Amino acid sequence: MSFATDIKSEITKLDSNHTEYIAELSAFIRNNAYIGNNIIKIHTENAAVARRIFKIIKDIYHIYCQVTVRSNFNFKKNFIYLLEIKGNCDSFLEDLSIKNRDGYFINIPRDYIISDDEEKRAYLRGIFLACGSVNNPKTSRYHLELLIDDNEYADFINNILNEYNLNSRVIKRVRGYMVYIKEAEKISDFLRLIKAYKGVLYYENIRIYRNQKNITNRLNNCEQANVERMINTALKQIADINLIKKNISLEILNDKLRIAAIYRLKYPETSLSELSNIITEKEGQVITKSGLNHRFRKIKILADNIREKEEKGVYNNE
Q: What is the pLDDT of residue 266?
A: 87
Contact 131, 178 (CB under 8 A): no
Q: Torsion-angle region of residue 317: left (phi > 0), alpha (psi -120 to 50) or beta?
A: left
Q: What is the pLDDT of residue 19?
A: 94
- Nearest alpha carbon to residue 45 among 134, 130, 125, 127: 130
Q: What is the pLDDT of residue 102?
A: 84
Contact 82, 43 (CB under 8 A): yes
Q: What is the mean pLDDT of each run of 10 residues along the chain (318 residues)?
A: 89 92 94 90 91 93 89 70 89 91 89 93 95 86 91 95 94 91 91 92 84 77 80 87 85 86 86 87 86 89 85 60
Q: What is the pLDDT of residue 269?
A: 81
The phi and psi torsions of 38 (rounded to 5 degrees) equal: 60, 30
DSSP 178: E
Q: How far apart are CA 41 and CA 39, in angstroms?
A: 7
- Nearest alpha carbon to residue 244 among 301, 179, 312: 301
* Three-class SS state of 176: coil
Q: What is the pLDDT of residue 225?
A: 79
Q: What is the pLDDT of residue 318?
A: 44
Q: What is the pLDDT of residue 317?
A: 45
Q: What is the pLDDT of residue 303?
A: 86
Specify the pTM. 0.69
Q: How far is CA 13 from the centre of its chain?
A: 27
Q: Which residues pair with 70 in a beta bridge?
A: 80
Contact 179, 168 (CB under 8 A): yes
Instruction: Give the number of other CB atoms < 10 A from CB of residue 235.
Output: 12
